Structure formats: C-alpha cells, structure tokens
Structure 1
Amino acid sequence: MGATSAKQEKPRKPKNEADLSKIPARVDNVIVKGLLRTYDDYVMRTAQDLFKADNFQDVIIEVNNARQYLSDLGIFKEISVHIDISRGEKASPNGYQITFEGIELSRIIGQVGTEIGQSEGSFKTELSSPNLFGRGERLTLQGSYSYFRTSDLILKLSKGFYHTRFLYNRPEISLSLFRHSNAVPISEYKNQNLGILADFTFYTLWPIDLLHSIQYESSFREISLLKKTAPFFIREQCGPRMASLIRHIVQFDSRDSNIFPTYGVYAKTLNEFAGGGLGGNIGYMLNDTHFEINIPLILGCSMQFSSRFGMIQKDKKSPSVPISSLFNLGGSMSLRGFEWGGAGPQRQGVATGAHSYWSSGMHFWAPLPFKSSLGRFSENFRTHLFYNFGNCNSFSTDKMKSAAGIGLAYKFANQARIEVNYCIPLDKEKGDRVCRGFQFGIGCDFI
C-alpha cells in the first residue's frame, strides 16, 4: 500500500501523435469530492505532486499517481477523475482543474472466502468497519478454520499514516486481540494462544527497500494432549504459560513474481526475544531466516536456489523452551519427500521438535510443454526438477536428510502455489517418516 515512490516511465510516442511533454500545462486547483465521513486533512497530500507538473504529460502521470494514492488510503471503493480547463479570474494560462470523485466504502463490509497459509488452506470470514474515525482507521473481526484443526479469531484495529510526510515509508500501526488454536498430531499435542499483539510496519528506502515489522506480544499459552497415550515428556510440557516477547521481521524482495519468480532475490529474517525483563515465564531468543535467488535461463526456464535456517536458545532463567516454540523439519514446504515434521528428532515415535535446523533446495523450473495448445491458462502452471536437503540440531552435513523428484505447480489466485510432486527420499535416518511417491503441498514460501 502507499503511493508509488518511483516515477512512471514515459510512454513512447507513436508517429503522427502530439508530444504531450511539449504542451505547457499547470494545475491551478485540485478538488476531492465524495468525502462524507473523511476529514479533509486526510486527503490533502493528493495534490502534493500535481502542482509541480509543468507540461500536460506530467499532469497525466501525476493524476494517475494521485488516483492510486487515494485508493491506497483505504476509504474509497471507486474513484473517477475529471480534467478540465481552469476558469475564473484567478485562472492561469494553460491552467487545469483536477477533480477526483470517490464513493466511500460502506460503514460495514464483509467477505467470505479461503486463505492460504503454510501447508494449509483455511475457510475465512471477515467483517470490517473501514475509515472508522474519518482518517483511515479500520476495525476488523476475522475468523478462520483449516482442515488441520487450526483456528484463528482476531479483532484488529489498524491505521495507516500515508497522509503524513512519511508517505513513502508507508507506516502503519495496529493493535490486535487474538485467539489461536492448532493441533500438532506428529507430537501428539495441541496448542492454544490468547493474547494481544501491537505491530508497527514501515519501509526503509535507503540504501535498499526493506519492509520492517516491529511487534510486541503478550499472550497466555496452553499446551494440552491430543492423545491419552502421549509419552511422559509431552505430558510434562502441558499446562498454561505466560509469554511476553518482542519480534522484528524484515524483508527484501526484488523478484518479478512471488509465486513463479524467474529472476530476483528474496530474503526474510525473523528475530524474537521472549522473557528477560519483559515478564512471563517463557524465555528464549529465536532467529529464523529464509533466502532465495532466481536466475533466468532460456525459453522461459529458470534456476532457483533457496535456503532456510533457524535457531532457538533458552534464556538462562528459563527451565526449557516449550515444545510449541521448537522447529519441525519435513513436509512439502521445507523438505519434500518427508512427512510434516518427519525429518526431525523423535522419542518413542513422537517428534520432539528441534532447537536448530537448516534446509536448502535447488530447482529447475520450466513452462508446460506444448503450452500453446492451452493458451493463457498454461501460464498458471510450471514444471520443476528439485533436490532438497537439510538437517536438525546440527549445521553440518553429517546425517543429512535429502530427497529429489519432479513435480507440477499451479499458481492459485496469484496468492499461493499448489504443488504435486513425485518424491524419492535419498538420505534418511531410522525413524524418519518418509513420503515416497506423490506428495501434495500448498503455501507461499517453499524451499
């Protein structure tokens, strides 16, 4: 969201068409109509760059930028633009009046649909009240439930500050009350979290464009058994805990697509600190980092190299890290050819979670063969050859787990990727839960 920070490329002029950049023009007046609940000061920056235009081509470009800016403010569902000659005693030569006419969003809007997360799809309902106090505030009630028995209920109040001088940094703050519940069958427990989350999101534009999210969470967490036959080391993890933590997430993305990239780099790192002087009876430091590079080849093919690693270390004053905060390796998102969590340490046939892990992948991506017969629909598909490898509780290649295979991927609603792969586990340990043959995966960040 937010206004576009880069100038748009000027269109090439066809022959026998007037060069708009040679037509003098200036903007005398800017009007924004349709503000019923919105305060005038919230849209004042619409005219910021329009008054700088000195020819008609720049006027057209800045009008488009201003229209996009108004759309990003989150108050209109529809915006139209009218460009007219400036009239009146104060009208200047070559002067124009720009009128934006918008239809504000309803006081309450709702939607029902699906949401794609890591390794799961959810049924989602959302009810929100946009522009709550007249300056872009939004109150949202959201609920979701997945076939993996994961449920979320979130009440969130958010506000963007795109109307300030920090426009290009797109700052936004939010405060959420949440309840999260999920089951982990491979470890025979379920986890419930209830708490508050404060979030401050912004971009830094120099020396590179980075997206930051700084969060504070205070939550009540409880682990309970999924099965009465769960081993003792899972039973002793059960019970309520209080968590108080600070989290920093930073992302860099120069890819041409987040689903089927052919070039560019993506990096994301999450750092989390719990306990210490923040309160609660859970204490640890956590880092989880993802890196990906894409290299274009010929005929629409590309190579992809990706890696992810994480480490968690308990605070000296904390007795242990709860199993719900540990890492699980395996599954279509992290290590194909293994079941979810099936490549990590186990005791008595139950996954214990890992204090560290790493996983890497190499892919050769190619379009569908004979794609011309399928038309544009074929652009939603890619084929790939892959090799995945990784390990838990060790950053060495000793006792490394690996798998290779071939697969077909589908771009779902430009938001997620669905994969069907034929996997061949190559390196495994006794007790690992492998998935030889076809494996299904759905999500956003694959290795």
Structure 2
Amino acid sequence: MVLMAKESSAIREVTEDSPASKKEETVVFKDKKCVVQKVQISGLKKTKSDFVLPELEQVMQSSTFVTAYQSALDCKKKLLNLGIFDHVDIIMDTTSHYKGNKVPNGIQILFRVKEKRSLTGEARTEMSNNDQPQWVIRLMSPNVFGRGEMLSAAFSRKLGSESVSGNGFYSPHDFSFAASKPFKNGSLFRMSILQDRQDCPWNSTSLTVRGGQLEYQFPLFNNTHTLAYHAHWRDLASSNNTTAFPIRENFGHTAKSSLLHSVTMDRTDDKILPSKGYMIKMTEELAGVGIGSKYIKENMELQFHKTLFRRLTLSAGFRGGFIVPFDNEQTQIPDRFFIGGPLTLRGFDMNRAGPQVDGDFLGGNCYWVAGLHAYLPLPFYWRNFGKGSWLDGFRIHGFFNAGNVLTFDNNQMIRNQLSCLAENIRTSYGVGLVYNFMRGARIELNFCVPSSVVAGDKVCDGVQFGIGLSTV
C-alpha cells in the first residue's frame, strides 16, 4: 500500500525519537476532520465497475482522516476477498492543490488493482481433519463474465493411500468441476460435480462418492450460513479379505439425497491457533429427500480461547452429534460417527475407538469429544514472543481429551440410553509441540498417555503426529 499526504503538517507529524546514528523515525498520524471528495478505482479491464463500487461506498462516509484510512484498509480487504484481484494498492492524497477547489480539508482515495489472469493453475498439498493429505492440481478461470464468476476443475489423489503403488501415485482418482457466482450482499452460490475416493483402514473398506452439490452461502447477523443440497451415489467396497461381516452387510451401491444447513459464529483471532475468542458451528442434515437413506443428523462444534498473563493461552473444545434414522432403519457405515485421532481424541489411532468387530470399527449414531488445552511459548523464546518472528507459530502444548461413541437401539427409548454416553469414556492426556504452519494448517507432535481405554480400542501410547485444520 502506498500512502501519500501533501499537507504533512496537518495530517502527519514526523519525530525522531532515536539517536541520529540509528536514523529511525516515528510517524504519528494526527486525526483531523476531512471530506472525502473523490474515490476512484483503476486497473479494471474485464471487471464491471458496478460489481466493485458497492465495496467502496463506506469510504465516502468517513469524516476524519483516521476513519478514512481505516475504511480504505477495510475496502482493500473486501476487494481481495472477491478473489478476482492479485493485489490492491491504496493512494490517499489531498485535493487542496486542485484549481477551483474550495474545500480546505478535502481528500481523495485511489484504489489501484491488478486483475488475475483469465486462466490460472496451481499444484498444492491439502489436508483436513477427517481425511488423508492429498495432492491437488487445480485450474481456475476467475471473473469469467466480469462480476466475480469462477469456473474451476481439480484433480487429486490421497497421499499415503493404501492403493497407491508404483506409478499409481501420479494418477488422480478424485476430481471436481465447479462454478460459483458471488452477489453484492456478500453471498455466494456454488454448484459442483465430483468424485471422491477414501480408503478407510479402520474398518477395511474403500468408499467412492460420485454426484453433485448445490450450495448457497450468505452472511446474517455477522454469522455465516450455508444452505446445501447433496445428491450422491456411493460405493462401499472391501479393501482386503478380512472385513467383518457387519460391515460387509453395507457393501454395494447406495444413494443419498439430503438437505443441509450450517451456521458458523466465529469470533476468534486466528483460524488455526487462536489466542482469544470463541467459535460455534452447528450443522443439520435431512437425508432421504426423494431417494436414499432417511435420517436426521445434527452436529455441533464449540471452541473457547482465553490468554492470561500475555503468554498462557487456555482453550476448551467440544464436538458432539447424533443421527436419528427413520422407520427404524439401521444407519449406513458412511453416515456414522467415528472418534479417535491426533487432533481429536489424542492417544487413539484415527477412528479406532468405539464399537468394533474383529478389529473393524463400526462407528455409532451418537458421539461426543471434549478437550482442555494449555499453550505456552518456547522456553528460550519467552522474552521475544510476539515480535513477529516465525518462532511465534510454535507453542508448548498440554492437553486432556475425553470422548465416547455408541449406537442407540431403535427399539428402546433414546432418553434411557443417553446415560450410556457417560459410561466407558475414553480419556487421554499428554504434552507436545504445536506449530501454526503459515496460518493454514496445524501440525502437532505430542507424547500421549491413554488413561482410560475400552477393550478393542487401538491406542497410540507414546509419540503421535498429526496435521489438520482444527482441534478439540
């Protein structure tokens, strides 16, 4: 960003607080009443002006220089969030030097933008809490018709997939084609078709999902809502010859047609390693709209973060959910909840805690997982913590986790079975190291001690490594 001010005596004051040998200067902005006379945006080629001008309206409402400066930064963030510009520069200047101008405290603001290319591509590694890391090759055509529309195609393959061998590593088995359209109120419509394959070693299966999705995301009361419709054709198959019979009963093709709604209230200061704030996310799903499995599914996630003494951060997290099938039907394996993993129920292998038969885990239709965490800076970096070094991303981590998963008997009252969630609780504790990798992923290396284990659970008693986006 470039900041220019002609009336330096009125708008800014420069003082030299340090010795002359250091040649340092402190810039102090003096707030002063002003009138924003002109707001311009340059660099638009394909983009239609009526698509970006509403993002600049708030600058015209500014009545002081500092509020105009802050509003310009907010507008820059909004323009970048549209996903159609490579970068946005801001130039602020006075208007007193214009002939005939009779406003002594008038200013003008110029936004210089550079549009993204008509066709871009990227190759990267992506990860999530519920799946293996994967390499992705993505092609994108942003701003197709000049109002933020985007077309994209992605091809990917899971890393570490059991089916990967030889040159098969280089051939993708997942793909997606998507089209999206943003609107002036901050909402976004997206439609896609996809194929996604997942190896599930915790129950010796391989799941392939093909189908289409419609999503509409919109802001409401400073929260993010998403309405979606999913139409999926699923194929569950065995990955070896030892799959337990209760899981084999679910093999074959099944259809799923569902409506979903989610709301996210995110008030944290960082997506990966927050130091303060809270986050609440609730998701409801109604399956069986027309065809396929019929059930109601509810899921909730809570996070609370607080920093004490400017160094110690305390966090608490909770996840829970349930499925209520219609007509006393049994829920399918792909729809059930599984617990265990390096970022959820630490000290247990991925999705390997809960009901199981012959070493294959069945999941459940009700679960909960909770965690308490304490974070401290690295001991040798204690005094310099918070000064912008890459070491700020490291934390010493202490945790305690607990959770449970079970399947309700449809022939009994659910209320009478809720007490079972407080029985046979799995617990673990430990210490380790956490790294906020480029503010885009969470990397953990922990020494875990499973303190309460049920027979059949697969534990990781010792060092456990995990990569993901969020934690409990």
The two structures have a TM-score, normalised by structure 1, of 0.87
Corresponding residue of 2:199: 183
Are residue 107 (structure 1) and residue 118 (structure 2) matched?
Answer: yes
Alpha carbons of 1:388 and 1:64: their partners in 2 closer, same or farther (altered >3 Å)?
closer
Which residue of 428, 435, 440 corresponds with 2:460? 435
Q: Give, in angstroms, the shift of residue 96 of structure 1.
A: 4.5
Which residue of 219, 234, 239 corresponds with 1:226? 239
Corresponding residue of 2:346: 336
Corresponding residue of 2:35: 25
Q: 2 CA distance for matches of 1:428 and 1:234? A: 23
Which residue of 68, 74, 82 corresponds with 1:73? 82
Letter matched to residue 382 of structure 1: R
Corresponding residue of 1:7: none
Alpha carbons of 1:426 and 1:192: their partners in 2 closer, same or farther (altered >3 Å)?
same
Alpha carbons of 1:404 and 1:92: their partners in 2 closer, same or farther (altered >3 Å)?
same
Alpha carbons of 1:212 and 1:405: their partners in 2 closer, same or farther (altered >3 Å)?
same
Alignment of 1:410-425 (within 5 A): 410-425=435-450
Structure 2: any 5+ residue segments left out of the alignment?
Answer: 1-10, 17-26, 163-172, 407-417
Alignment of 1:299-310 (within 5 A): 300-310=311-321
- Contact kept in structure 2, 1:112 and 1:125, CA below 8 Å: yes
Are residue 153 (structure 1) and residue 153 (structure 2) matched?
Answer: no
Alpha carbons of 1:274 and 1:362: their partners in 2 closer, same or farther (altered >3 Å)?
same
Corresponding residue of 1:5: none
Q: 1 CA distance for matches of 2:358 and 2:276? A: 45
Corresponding residue of 1:251: 264
Q: 1 CA distance for matches of 2:59 and 2:78? A: 12
Q: 1 CA distance for matches of 2:40 and 2:235? A: 55
Corresponding residue of 2:409: none
Letter matched to residue 177 of structure 2: L
Are residue 294 (structure 1) and residue 310 (structure 2) matched?
Answer: no
Are residue 117 (structure 1) and residue 131 (structure 2) matched?
Answer: no
Alpha carbons of 1:13 and 1:179: their partners in 2 closer, same or farther (altered >3 Å)?
farther
Are residue 48 (structure 1) and residue 73 (structure 2) matched?
Answer: no
Alpha carbons of 1:262 and 1:69: their partners in 2 closer, same or farther (altered >3 Å)?
closer
Letter matched to residue 283 of structure 1: K
Letter matched to residue 137 of structure 2: T
Which residue of 261, 267, 287 corresponds with 1:274? 287
Alpha carbons of 1:32 and 1:313: their partners in 2 closer, same or farther (altered >3 Å)?
same
Q: Secondary structure of the residue that 1:45 maps to in structure 2? A: helix
Corresponding residue of 1:34: 43
The Cα RMSD (Å) is 2.7
Matched pairs, number = 424
Q: Give, in angstroms, the shift of residue 24 of structure 1.
A: 3.8
Are residue 404 (structure 1) and residue 429 (structure 2) matched?
Answer: yes
Q: 2 CA distance for matches of 1:42 and 1:427? A: 57
Q: Give, in angstroms, the shift of residue 141 of structure 1.
A: 1.1
Q: Give, in angstroms, the shift of residue 403 of structure 1.
A: 1.3
Q: 2 CA distance for matches of 1:421 and 1:18? A: 45
Alpha carbons of 1:12 and 1:263: their partners in 2 closer, same or farther (altered >3 Å)?
farther
- Contact kept in structure 2, 1:387 and 1:402, CA below 8 Å: yes
Corresponding residue of 1:127: 139
Q: 2 CA distance for matches of 1:176 and 1:415? A: 24
**Identity of paired residues, percent?**
28
Q: Give, in angstroms, the shift of residue 321 of structure 1.
A: 1.5
Corresponding residue of 1:139: 151
Q: Secondary structure of the residue that 1:241 maps to in structure 2? A: strand
Q: 2 CA distance for matches of 1:396 and 1:14? A: 64
Q: Give, in angstroms, the shift of residue 22 of structure 1.
A: 3.1
- Contact kept in structure 1, 2:205 and 2:237, CA below 8 Å: yes
Q: 1 CA distance for matches of 2:270 and 2:365? A: 32
Q: Give, in angstroms, the shift of residue 325 of structure 1.
A: 0.9
Corresponding residue of 2:394: 381
Alpha carbons of 1:136 and 1:91: their partners in 2 closer, same or farther (altered >3 Å)?
farther
Structure 1: any 5+ residue segments left out of the alignment?
Answer: 1-10
Q: 2 CA distance for matches of 1:237 and 1:414? A: 40
- Contact kept in structure 1, 2:12 and 2:30, CA below 8 Å: no
Q: Give, in angstroms, the shift of residue 72 of structure 1.
A: 2.7
Q: 2 CA distance for matches of 1:55 and 1:361? A: 46
- Contact kept in structure 2, 1:194 and 1:220, CA below 8 Å: yes
Alpha carbons of 1:263 and 1:26: their partners in 2 closer, same or farther (altered >3 Å)?
closer
**1:320-355 CA distances to partner (integer Å, 9 max, x unpaired)?**
211011111111122111111221101122111111
Alpha carbons of 1:397 and 1:84: their partners in 2 closer, same or farther (altered >3 Å)?
same
The two structures have a TM-score, normalised by structure 2, of 0.83
Q: 1 CA distance for matches of 2:339 and 2:55? A: 48
Q: 1 CA distance for matches of 2:28 and 2:425? A: 66
